[in-house]
Structure 1
Amino acid sequence: MQTQAAHALAADPRNVQALAQEIASIPAGTDPDEALCTLLTMTLDQARMAQEGGQRFGQRCLDAVSRHLADLSRKGAVTMAGTIAIARCYVRAGLPVPAGLEPGEQPTPHQTSPHSAREDTSPEAAFAALSASLLGDIGDDPSILHQTFAEILPGIPPDARSMLCRVAAANPDPRFEQLACAWLLDTSEQVRSAALEGLADRLAAGRLSPRALGRLAVLRSWIVDDPVRRRVDALIRSAIRSGISQDTHIAPSHRIIGCHSSPIDGSGAQSLAIALQKGRSRAIAMVLLKQRFGVKDAYIVPCANAAEQRGLLQQVTTLGGPGDVSLDYVQTALSIALADGRKNAVYPAPGLADVAEACALTTLRPTQDASAQAIVSAYDPQDALASLDPDERETLIAASADWPARYPMVTNWFEDDDDIFDGVKATSTARARATWTWLETRRDFWASIIARTALLLKDQGDPQARSFAVTAHAVSHDTPLQRIPIMAAIVDQTLEASRATSVAGDDDIMALLMNLMAPPPQPAPRQPRDKPARKRVPRKPK
């Protein structure tokens, strides 16, 4: 119910603005209402996914809320506690925090530390004092440390933010060395630059470890910006000249129990899960890939026991298919996603560095090409498909008519971009014609989804993989789309999705908002009861 309400709420920016204002204006020293924050996070997440899918209401919602928060901030109606709460909602929804929400000049961590009265206190000492309790709460999990700072940094003024990142990156604690490497993949140029400066400070102080050098050597190729990559390369050369040796034979920090993959949905999203064990502790490395966005998310989830680990793995493969894949397949899928993200100037999720280290993926690099044809070539490195005669090709393409019945995820392959039906008459014929016209502009997109599915099915030993590979080649070339059965299915599913009305109604939204934003009920006044007068007892003398 909440997911449906959040989706519908995203289509009504005024109510989202009211929700954001309620959170942004909480008094200082007050904890935000978790139910409100959860709803706003879910709503922003729905708006983000709609925006990525070409649905205009998503962009309208995000723009309207961003403008409203900026107006509130200019009027002084946003509290520091509210800023932190709003920033947390945006970060958890996978969105950048609106620039207009950034607070004005605030004391830096150095100025506000308990040691600020001492003239000889350095920023490093002040940061060490401030971070002691934070590290005690977080423990050794690098993902939690990165997430915590991701939610804190947007609420810090820019100058103080740069100083904080640089000081943290140079901090002697090895956990901050890992954090600094992850920051090189941050979406903020300011954070990336400060992390590089901190790592250079770390090297100058003789504290850069061979482990960090190995991590830098792996993730340098993931960096989208050429200037940043050149600075990382210069840092690596300086480290080698200083005598630090890179260990290229790093064993996995965990034992890999198995790898699993979800099917690939119609937006190009795919989840990968790697089951890990270290002694008696268990965990799962999770990675979310999405076409045009590369590696969207990556993190390691600790599991209480083997049963919990199995339960999480089952969730990944809920939508059909055996799910089991090889580690080689995982690395290939990640390499393609890295190349796809780099082509679209999108940084991979910083948590990928932790996943790569846990699984010893020391050779993980982007492929040279992320096109559909390149993926088909990865499926068929010996070019065996080229020897198929025309009749064999036609038979394999015709087999795509059976995909929706065999693979449940294929029934979710459809288009939902608002531009498809712009200016189109409401007749079914006109809408079908518009969908076919739209798909002509999306050949590369669908060919890539089909080719990625071929690669997945091949690793799982599915004989239908060849049908997917040949069909992907046909879609990416000049074969008329109307002659490819799966494309006809995508047209039908697109038209069906456009007719569906699965969102909650206005009454449902308002009822949910009223319940969440209403003040807590006051206890009923106690009714006086008839009772005998209390007997007076003399007090004992002291």
Structure 2
Amino acid sequence: MAKSRIDEALAALKAAGNDGFGARPEVLERLGLDLLHRPALGGQIVARICAIAEPSPRDEGLLDLLGAGLDAARIARENGKVRGQALIDAVEAALELARGQGRMTSAHSLLFAKLWTRNGLPAPAALALQAEEVVPAAGRRASNSAEGDVLLEGLFAELIQQAEGEPLALHHALTESFPAMPPEMRDHVVAYSVGRSDPIHAELACYWLLDPAQHIRLTAAQGLAHRLASAELPGRILASLVVLRSWMPDDAARARVDTILKAAMRKSVAPSTDQVPWTMHSIRASLPDGGGAQSIGIALQSGTQRKMAMLLLKQGQGVKDAYTITCRTARDQKSIVERMTEEVGALTVTSDYVRRAVSIALADGLAQGLPPVPGLIEVVRLCGFAGLRPDVKSTPDLIADLASTRAVQALPPWQHGDLITASEEWWDRHETIASWFEDSDAAHSVLDKARSAKSAESALWKWLETRRDWWARILARAADVLETANHPDATGFAACAMALLEGRDLKKIPVMLDVHEQTIEAWVRDDPDFDPGLTFEELAHEAPAPERKGEVAALLRGTELSVDWLDGYMTGIVIAPKMIMPNQWLPAVLEPVLPRINPSQFQRFMDLLMMRAQTVSDVASVPDQLVATISGRSKKGQAEWWSGFSDAMEKFRSAWPKKGMTKEDRRLFEIVTGGFTSADMTEFAALVGHRQERNLG
């Protein structure tokens, strides 16, 4: 079974093609989550790769699949989910087994080393080759260590050529191979490189000063000290060190850099900058997602050369990624900018905003002992962000610094309240809001312990009280983006951030209702086989066995829901002009039911819901049928139907944009808000049919 699942994953990857921005990343993300839920599959992928005597590009699918799993595991671990570490442990155990059985060659070690490095994970000891696998015996003789350096000279010459003289590309090539090197060799390679007189090696040392491993940072710092003593430390590198030392954790490596700077002052060696920054044409920044991650893209140009500088900042984690993409044409560059806008709702911001956001992220990372990724050096250099240093900001500080905060403070209390209330409409304008939920083990544990839907809701509200600062900070960061982009929602985000810290009842902050609801959704949907992006039609496409009489009623028994309410609720969902996704409407149905049904019945219940959704959609299109299906119920049943329909219309009011509403839609809402009567039945059905006709085009 596991083998066939891997084969299915490989087939899905093959079908997706190689478009870096198309279906392939989406497929990899889904497959990564699958591995996260089934860690044993990760070990089996390792076994498959090690069974290939000479891995080739044809095996790219297996490597991509494992890489997707490692990426998902890293993110899960950062977000407080034990499941992430479980997958990493399973994969590393498989590596140790393969090494012990002699099935892992040096080629395999290098492939795995690249995967671990690219996914920002510390490599396991099982990947390190033995000295005899790397350097011939002659190169290891203490009496003739120069032969080993000759080998390194050849290695560097080849890598520099492959990197086309780019220090960062050379750094990537070397660090990707580090996990496969014996530990003592890594330090030797760094020391050897930094000691070389070529300018590229001095620049390489700067990147190693930001290595996650403290011993690598220290070795690089010691090498730079030797260069200064030999008068081989360029002034521009010295200028970089003045700033870089503030990006480093407070340890022996940073102390060594401080010693270098003091020695340079005594020697009257002056820092100098001789690099001209590139021109920034446009800058886009996303709102932070629920995990605190934010993407920033900067379009750069120097003469005929174009690049996109990309940054990933994460709350509490720092600068998680920083790199550049070479663009062949202006159209390529524009395409990346447009994708950011379309896919993550990125907004136009300024260079001052980027400096501010990165400075705060630097401080976030250092608070955890984490330096930024080395690629930040190149991004800062190209953008001309001279003197960029960490800036420690508490959440109250972030809020106080916003112009939007001052605007809110100048408003009368009732307008302040209106801004907070308006947050219920944000998800309609900002796609990122859909990711605002708690997905940690701590949150899920609270829900797991609940004995009923109501107790789960209450327990989650209580737990969210401990997360006020986190969400206030998310809101403040989002407000900063919106304010910079001159978006009218900036004051609302600032108002909600203030309300969280001021202790306002969480239930009276609509966006926190979204967080609460979506957290329960995430808990319910914590299943790799659940696809939240499916439409009603897709979910009902391969309908299982037809519903048996009374089957849904039996599953609803013991809850406050009825079949009549469910049909009305679903009718209100399917006729909305703006599609309401299952992950938005399902919780109201699932929360009361899940604690009361056997887990083995869950899939059947989902199947029944989707079949009913399709049925009510069909009925809503034919007024006479809708009249018949409502009037054919008992008086109590009719009241329940109207209640369900009203609940859906009220809950998803933002799915009816004012600009697109017709006079028939407005009349429909008048009937809903005014209370149903039998006299309204025919008109009501006609209005629903009219809306369905417009929806279906």
TM-score, length of structure 1 as denominator length: 0.86
Query: Partners in 2 of 1:480 and 1:302 — Cα distance?
Result: 49
Q: 1:350 to 1:25 in 2, by over 3 A?
A: farther
Q: Aligned Cα RMSD in Å?
A: 2.6
- Secondary structure of 2:282's counterpart equals strand
Are residues 1:478 and 2:498 paired? Answer: no
2:255 to 227, 230, 253: 230
Counterpart in 2 of 1:429?
A: 454
Question: Contact 1:180 / 1:196 at 8 angstroms: preserved in 2?
Answer: yes
Deviation at 1:445, TM superposition (A): 1.2
Can you list the C-alpha shifts for 1:41-74, whole angstroms capped at 9, x where unaligned?
A: 1111112222222333222111122233234334
Task: Please report how far the alpha carbon of residue 3 of structure 1 lies from its aligned counterpart in structure 2 after TM superposition.
Answer: 2.8
CA contact (8 A) 2:320 2:373 kept: yes
- Greater relative contact order (Cα < 8 A, sep 6+): 1
Of residues 90, 98, 105, the one that matches 1:72 is 98
Matched, 1:293 2:317: yes
Output the amino acid matched with 1:495: I
Q: CA deviation at 1:326?
A: 0.5
* Letter in structure 1 aligned against 2:88: L
Structure 1 distance, partners of 2:422, 2:295, is 26
Say which SS state the counterpart of residue 317 (structure 1) adopts: helix
How far is the alpha carbon of 1:171 from its aligned partner? Answer: 2.0
CA distance in 1 between counterparts of 2:502 and 2:31 reads 42
Partners of 2:287 and 2:346 within 8 A in 1: no
The CA distance in 2 between the partners of 1:3 and 1:59, in whole Å, is 18
Work out the CA distance in 2 between the residues paired with 1:217 and 1:428: 56
In structure 2, do the counterparts of structure 1 residues 69 and 357 end up closer, same or farther at CA, with 3 Å as the change threshold? same
Change (3 A) 1:494 1:212: same
Partners of 1:284 and 1:303 within 8 A in 2: yes
Picking from 180, 186, 202, the partner of 2:211 is: 186
1:167 positional shift: 1.0
Q: Is residue 407–residue 491 contact of structure 2 (8 Å, CA) maintained in 1?
A: no
- Residue in structure 2 matched with residue 409 of structure 1 by the alignment: 432
State the partner residue of 1:8: 34
Aligned 1:55-66 pairs, distance under 5 A = 55-66=81-92
Determine the structure 2 residue equivalent to 1:331. Answer: 355
State the partner residue of 2:601: none
Q: Does 1:255 align with 2:279?
A: yes
Amino acid at match of 1:273: G
| 1:128 matched residue in structure 2 | 153
The match for 1:450 is: 475
Give the conservation status (yes or no) of the 8 Å contact 2:478–2:493. Answer: yes
Q: Which moved more, 1:387-396 or 1:166-175?
A: 387-396
The answer as to whether partners of 2:319 and 2:358 remain within 8 angstroms in 1 is: yes
The equivalent residue for 1:92 is: 118
What is the deviation of 1:116?
8.8
> Are 2:60 and 1:37 aligned?
no
Q: Is the 8 A contact 1:108 1:160 kept in 2?
A: no
Question: 3-state DSSP class of the match of 2:443?
Answer: helix
Percent identity of paired positions between Structure 1 and Structure 2: 35
**Runs of 5+ unmatched residues, structure 2:** 1-26, 531-697
Instruction: Select the structure that is richer in helix.
Output: 2
After TM superposition, the structure 1 stretch with the greater mean CA deviation from structure 2, 348-357 or 438-447, is 438-447
Matched residue of 1:333: which SS? helix
1:163 matches 2:188: yes
Cα gap change, 1:169 to 1:25, in 2 (>3 Å): farther
Contact 1:5/1:504, CA 8 A, preserved across alignment: no
Q: Given the superposition, is the C-alpha separation of residues 437 and 131 from structure 1 closer, same or farther in structure 2, using an over 3 Å criterion?
A: same
Q: 1:72 to 1:384 in 2, by over 3 A?
A: same
Alignment CA distance shift 1:323-1:30 (3 Å): closer
Residues 124 and 171 of structure 1 are in contact (CA less than 8 Å); yes or no, is this contact kept in structure 2?
A: no
For structure 1, the residue ranges without an aligned partner over 5 or more in a row are 506-542
> CA–CA distance in 2 between the matches of 1:262 and 1:146?
29
Secondary structure, counterpart of 1:275 in structure 2: strand
Q: What does 1:19-418 align with in structure 2 at a 5 Å threshold?
A: 19-24=45-50, 26-27=52-53, 33-106=59-132, 119=144, 121=146, 125-247=150-272, 252-319=276-343, 321=345, 323-369=347-393, 371-380=394-403, 385-418=408-441
Supply the AA of the counterpart residue of 1:226. Answer: D
Amino acid at match of 1:223: M
Indicate the SS of the match to 2:131: coil
SS of the residue corresponding to residue 442 of structure 1 reads helix
Asked if the contact 2:479–2:490 (Cα under 8 Å) also holds between the matched residues in 1, the reply is: yes
1:91 deviation in Å?
1.3
CA drift of 1:28 comes to 6.6
Query: Which of 422-431 and 77-86 deviates more?
Result: 422-431
Taking the aligned partners of 1:378 and 1:171, their CA distance within structure 2 comes to 46
Question: Alpha-carbon deviation of 1:504?
Answer: 3.8
Equivalent AA in structure 2 for residue 77 of structure 1 = R
Structure 1's 319 and 8: CA in aligned 2 closer, same or farther, altered over 3 A? same
8 Å Cα contact 2:404/2:491 also seen in 1: no
Contact 1:106 1:157 in 2 (8 A): no
CA pair 144-397 structure 1, distance change in 2 beyond 3 A: same
Alignment-mate amino acid for residue 145 of structure 1: L
Pair 1:428–1:361, CA change in 2 (3 A): same
User: What do residues 478-506 of structure 1 show as CA deviations (whole Å, max 9, x unaligned)?
Assistant: 2221221110111111222222366248x
User: 2:485: which partner in 1?
Assistant: 460
Following superposition, the deviation at residue 448 of structure 1 comes to 0.8
Distance 1:73 1:32 in 2: 23
Distance 1:319 1:336 in 2: 25
TM normalised by structure 2 equals 0.68
